[in-house]
Structure 1
Amino acid sequence: MPVTSVDSDAEALTMTLVADFAAGPERLWQVFTDPRQLERFWGPPGWPATFSTFDFERGGRARYAMASPTGEIARGSWEFIDIDEPRGFEVVDSFVDENGDAIPGMPAMRMTFAFDQTDAGSRLTNVTYFDSLEGLEQVLAMGAVEGSTLAINQLDAVLQGLREFAQGKGTQLEILDDQHVRITRLIEGPRELVWRAHVDPDLMRQWMLGPDGWRMSVAEVDVSVGGDYRIAWEPEPGTEGEGFGFDGTTLLIDEPRRIVQTEHMTGTDFPSTTNDLSFYEEDGATLVTLLIEYPDAATRDTVLATGMVDGMEQSFERMERVVLA
Structure 2
Amino acid sequence: MPVTEIISDPATLTMNIHAEFDASVDRVWSVFTDPRQLERFWGPPGWPATFTRFDFTPGGLAQYSMTGPDGETHHARWEFLRIDAPDSFEVLDGFADEAGELLTEMPPMRMVFSFVDEGARTRLHGVTHFESLEALEQSVAMGMVEGTRMAMSQLDTVLQSLRDYAQGKGTRLEVLDDQHVRITRLVEGSRDLVWRAHTEPDLLRQWLLGPDGWRMTVCEVDPAVGGHYRYAWEPVDGTEGQAFGFDGENLVMDGPRRSVTTEHMTGTDYPSTTNDLQLFEEDGATLLTLLIEYPDAATRDIVLATGMLDGMETSYERLEREVLASV
- TM-score, length-normalised on structure 2? 0.98
Q: Counterpart of 2:267?
A: 267
Matches of 1:97 and 1:220 in 2, distance apart?
A: 37
Q: Structure 1: any 5+ residue segments left out of the alignment?
A: none
SS in 1 for 2:94: strand
- Residues 28-177 of structure 1 correspond to what in structure 2 (within 5 A)? 28-118=28-118, 121-177=121-177
Which letter does structure 1 place at the counterpart of 2:60? G
Matches of 1:82 and 1:289 in 2, distance apart?
A: 34
- Residues 175-194 of structure 1 correspond to what in structure 2 (within 5 A)? 175-194=175-194
Q: Counterpart of 1:247?
A: 247
* Post-superposition offset of 1:168: 0.6
SS in 2 for 1:70: coil
SS in 1 for 2:295: coil
Matches of 1:193 and 1:102 in 2, distance apart?
A: 38
Residue 300 in structure 1 maps to residue 303 in structure 2: no
Q: Structure 2: any 5+ residue segments left out of the alignment?
A: none
Which letter does structure 2 place at the counterpart of 1:97? D
* Post-superposition offset of 1:105: 2.1
SS in 2 for 1:126: strand
> Can you list the C-alpha shifts for 1:217-263, whole angstroms capped at 9, x where unaligned?
11011111111111011001211111111001111101111111100
The percentage of aligned residue pairs carrying the same residue is 67
SS in 1 for 2:139: helix
Which letter does structure 1 place at the counterpart of 2:121? G
- Residues 213-228 of structure 1 correspond to what in structure 2 (within 5 A)? 213-228=213-228
> Can you list the C-alpha shifts for 1:69-100, whole angstroms capped at 9, x where unaligned?
11111111111111111001001111111121
> Can you list the C-alpha shifts for 1:20-44, whole angstroms capped at 9, x where unaligned?
1100111011111111111111011
RMSD of aligned Cα (Å)? 0.9
SS in 2 for 1:64: strand
> Can you list the C-alpha shifts for 1:146-179, whole angstroms capped at 9, x where unaligned?
1111111101111111011111110011111111
Which letter does structure 2 place at the counterpart of 1:103? L
Matches of 2:284 and 2:208 in 1, distance apart?
A: 22
Matches of 1:12 and 1:91 in 2, distance apart?
A: 18
Matches of 1:22 and 1:161 in 2, distance apart?
A: 13
Matches of 2:98 and 2:308 in 1, distance apart?
A: 40
* Post-superposition offset of 1:118: 2.7
* Post-superposition offset of 1:120: 5.2
* Post-superposition offset of 1:119: 5.9
Which letter does structure 2 place at the counterpart of 1:301? D
SS in 1 for 2:105: coil
Which letter does structure 2 place at the counterpart of 1:261? T
Q: Counterpart of 1:10?
A: 10
Which letter does structure 1 place at the counterpart of 2:109? M
Mean CA deviation greater in 92-101 or 182-191: 92-101
SS in 2 for 1:140: helix
SS in 2 for 1:177: coil
SS in 2 for 1:44: coil
SS in 2 for 1:205: helix
Which letter does structure 1 place at the counterpart of 2:54? F
Which letter does structure 2 place at the counterpart of 1:84? D
SS in 2 for 1:317: helix
SS in 2 for 1:224: coil
Matches of 2:105 and 2:316 in 1, distance apart?
A: 48
Matches of 2:16 and 2:301 in 1, distance apart?
A: 34
